[in-house]
Amino acid sequence: MSSQGRVLFIGDSSEAWLGLGEPLIQAGHVVERLNGAPQAPALEEGQDYDLILVDLAGPGDGPELIRELIRLCPRATVTALGREDHLGQAVAAVKAGAADCWTPPFRAEAAFELLEQALRTVARPGRVYPFGPIIGRSAGIQRVFDLIARVADSDSTVLIAGESGTGKELMARAIHFSSPRRDKPLVPVNCGAIPEELLESELFGHEKGAFTSAIRTRIGRFELADGGTIFLDEIGEMSPKLQVKLLRVLQERQFERVGGTKTIRSDIRVIAATNQDLRRAVAQGRFREDLYYRLSVIPIPAPSLRERAEDIPLLVDHFLERFRRSRKTRVKGVSPEALELLKRYAWPGNIRELENLIERLVILSDNPRIAPADLPERFHHAEGRESSSVLVLPEEGLQLNETLAAVEDQLIRQALAKSGGIKSRAAKLLGLNRTTLVEKLKKKKMV
């Protein structure tokens, strides 16, 4: 092991302790043991454990204990220890948030491997990522973590804005599964992927006979999400007609099915996401201003990958590990030279593009370490980060003032992300006085 880990073992099982706890101690890790599982231990929020092993063999509510441990120790990897003949126990543990559920015989190698993964995601002091698959230590993503933690317990509407491929749905899932609604449904709807004539029925449902193909009553997504969360992705693609109906749902939490007269009430939290500049869409008359303000009660900016290049090595390791497990491959890592090319690239497709690239390299590479020669041609030439800010005048022309304003907005957001939201640092990155930046933020309603 490259560094010392801190492990919490909860349970009475001597088999699990001898197979996992004692070998971890012998390897030099700090292991604390609490007997009498599963019962909620007297822990304070924010305990800095790397790995928590929970024995489910004792009496009590194991899944509830796992949920409580995740709440108290959000930075730890929680793994359940079950019985070989109890599949339902393992399923319940994973649904509650456990990374896995191990059954006898317990192998120390598995614990070492899981602890090694946990330690690789640590940026001392503190964790790299407390919300599952959202990975990063950059200032921009840490600010996202902070916002998620702050808003999770409320029912306020959230608007996640960012480019395609930045992980907006993962952020929505993190909010939902960190909230009191975690045991209720999270219902996603891609507003851009469903034709307008079908989206209304998809959202609100329809009564039998409401239109020609309505051969039976259908329950809509808002109804399905009762008690939980509805995630409206690509909200900027919604038609003006549906924007009016959505506004009513946000205001009154009630609606009617298509072709119906009965008013249906639904206890829902709404999280929306967009890759568009909705302020500009409002100015152009494409998006309702009143709906925009209803949606953006709590705005969360999803930083692009080029704004958080320092996270690329972590993401590369994460994807390599995933694809190594699912595919037979010789690839063990990435050379420093290739990693530098990855960090310099502009990543127009963001994390999704990086994930697809690593999968391709794992399949096609014959070398144990990915080298610069293994990377596609675009990584070696002018499509990198340095050229990403160059604008090309389209054939149909453009509105210069609007374009310059959009570029300015983007650069300000990047500076704020890089500085962790500290305005004086952001102003320095932009070559501005702090007061000038603050005035711009007020004028642009970015505060």
DSSP assignment of 387-423 equals: GTT-----TT---HHHHHHHHHHHHHHHHHHHTTT-H
Element (H, E) at 228: none
Pairing of strands 229-233, 269-274: parallel
Asked if residue 394 has pLDDT above 80, the reply is no
What confidence category does residue 2 fall into, taking pLDDT thresholds of 50, 70 and 90?
very low
In terms of residues, how long is the chain? 447
* CATH 1.10.8.60 residue spans of the chain: 305-386
pLDDT for position 58:
63
Query: Cβ(173)–Cβ(290) under 8 Å?
Result: no
Q: What is the pTM of this model?
A: 0.60
- Give the span between the Cα atoms of 441 and 447, in whole angstroms: 6
Asked if residue 432 has pLDDT above 80, the reply is yes
Architecture of domain 400-443: Orthogonal Bundle (1.10)
Pairing of strands 51-55, 6-10: parallel
Which distant-in-sequence residues (6+ apart) come within 8 Å of 302 by Cβ?
144, 160, 161, 162, 163, 166, 167, 168, 171, 273
Segment 195-222 mean pLDDT = 82
pLDDT for position 81:
87
Q: 205: which 2 tokens? A: 């449902």
Which distant-in-sequence residues (6+ apart) come within 8 Å of 54 by Cβ?
10, 11, 37, 38, 62, 65, 66, 69, 78, 79, 80, 81, 93, 98
For residue 78, the cross-strand partners are 52
* CATH 1.10.10.60 residue spans of the chain: 400-443
Q: What is the CATH number of domain 305-386?
A: 1.10.8.60
Q: Give 368-388 pLDDT, tens digit per residue.
A: 889 898 998 888 864 444 444
* CATH 3.40.50.2300 residue spans of the chain: 6-120
Query: What CATH number matches the domain at 6-120, 3.30.420.40, 3.50.30.10, 3.20.20.370, 3.40.50.2300?
Result: 3.40.50.2300
139-301 folds as Rossmann fold (3.40.50)
pLDDT for position 389:
43
* CATH 3.40.50.300 residue spans of the chain: 139-301
Task: Specify the 3-state DSSP secondary structure of 294.
Answer: helix
| Angle ∠(412,418,423) on CA atoms, nearest 5 | 60
